[in-house]
Amino acid sequence: MLEWITSPEAWIALATLTALEIVLGIDNIIFLSILVDRLPEKQRPRARLIGLGLAMVMRLGLLASLAWLTKLTADLFVVLGQGISGRDLVLIVGGLFLLAKSVLEIHHSIEDDEAAPASVRKGATASFFAILAQIAVLDLVFSLDSVITAVGMANHLEVMVIAVVIAVGFMMVFANAIGRFITEHPTLKMLALSFLVLVGTALIADGLEFHIPKGYIYFAMAFSFAVEMLNLRVRAGRKKAAQAR
């Protein structure tokens, strides 16, 4: 059971898979942070912790069901000559969910809540359990993609489990900081929502067997994020200069 400890290939796989799981988990953190932003501030840390706990449970549960997971690649039905497996169906539905939720959040961010009636503004704060339900759906989507990636990269279940636990632990440590940072910078929140539109499109394409290299997606995200960081520094410098006058 522990023979992988003496295998250099297993340790390389562990390091690579852990890094990849953390990168894949960034999407999860961004969307989770945007969802819990609809809650009262005192409830947000607890919602993030529970949401990431659900993510870990789902990932470990899927890893423990490898026999079922491998069957997801078998075609369930055919549409216009395209075979659709259980994995494809989950990715397509999950991608559509991300697209719909991201567009609705963009609409909500652009709309002027202050101009709305008080009853409408009160309804803008979602209930705790409603947000957790959305987080659970989101966790299922990202967990399936994450676990399938793990299965494709590592041969030992123990390696997969350790990589997932480390990655989710990393997300738990930095989730609150990332959430606060996104909340304090509305333009960054809009950029994050745009990322999620891209991720949702990539999931749908992957479900339809149009595979977009992940490297292209993450390069586009990293480049856009770097540009926005420069914009934030420029705006902060102008603000300091204006206050000094």
Mean of all residue pLDDT scores within the chain: 77
Rg of the Cα trace of the chain?
Answer: 20
**Cα angle 152, 154, 158; round to 5:** 130
* Nearest 10 degrees: Cα torsion 180, 172, 98, 117: -40
User: Which pLDDT does position 57 carry in this prediction?
Assistant: 86
Distance separating alpha carbons of residues 184 and 102, to the nearest angstrom: 19
Phi–psi pair at 83, nearest 5 degrees: -70, 135
Whether residue 34 has pLDDT greater than 80: no
Confirm if 212 and 105 have CB atoms less than 8 A apart. no
Distance separating alpha carbons of residues 207 and 115, to the nearest angstrom: 41
Instruction: Identify the three-state secondary structure at position 78.
Output: strand
Bridge partners of 82, per DSSP, are: 79
User: Which pLDDT does position 121 carry in this prediction?
Assistant: 43
Distance separating alpha carbons of residues 61 and 63, to the nearest angstrom: 5
Read off the pLDDT of residues 73-97 as tens digits, 9 standing for 90 and up.
777 788 877 788 877 887 788 788 8
What are the boundaries of each domain within the chain? Answer: 8-212
Read off the pLDDT of residues 152-211 as tens digits, 9 standing for 90 and up.
566 677 777 888 888 888 888 887 777 677 767 778 778 877 887 888 888 888 888 888
Distance separating alpha carbons of residues 12 and 10, to the nearest angstrom: 5
Q: What's the number of CA atoms in the CB half-sphere (13 Å) around residue 202?
A: 20
User: Which pLDDT does position 29 carry in this prediction?
Assistant: 78
How far does Cα 67 stand from its chain's mean position? 25
User: Which pLDDT does position 71 carry in this prediction?
Assistant: 65
**Cα angle 148, 34, 207; round to 5:** 30
Read off the pLDDT of residues 144-154 as tens digits, 9 standing for 90 and up.
767 766 665 66
User: Which pLDDT does position 4 carry in this prediction?
Assistant: 64
Read off the pLDDT of residues 49-77 as tens digits, 9 standing for 90 and up.
888 888 888 888 877 776 566 567 777 78
Phi–psi pair at 74, nearest 5 degrees: -80, 140
Using alpha carbons, select from 66, 56, 12 the residue that is nearest to residue 166.
Answer: 56
Residue 111 Ramachandran class (φ > 0 left, ψ -120 to 50 alpha, else beta): beta
Q: Both tokens of residue 189?
A: 């929140």
Q: What spatial distance separates the first Cα and last Cα of the chain, rounded to whole Å?
A: 68
Whether residue 125 has pLDDT greater than 60: no
User: Which pLDDT does position 175 carry in this prediction?
Assistant: 77
Whether residue 213 has pLDDT greater than 60: yes
User: Which pLDDT does position 55 carry in this prediction?
Assistant: 82
Percent share of the chain, pLDDT over 90: 1
User: Which pLDDT does position 161 carry in this prediction?
Assistant: 82
- Give 47's pLDDT tier (boundaries 50, 70, 90): confident
- Give 123's pLDDT tier (boundaries 50, 70, 90): very low
Q: Both tokens of residue 174?
A: 């930095």
**Mean pLDDT of the region 92-115:** 75
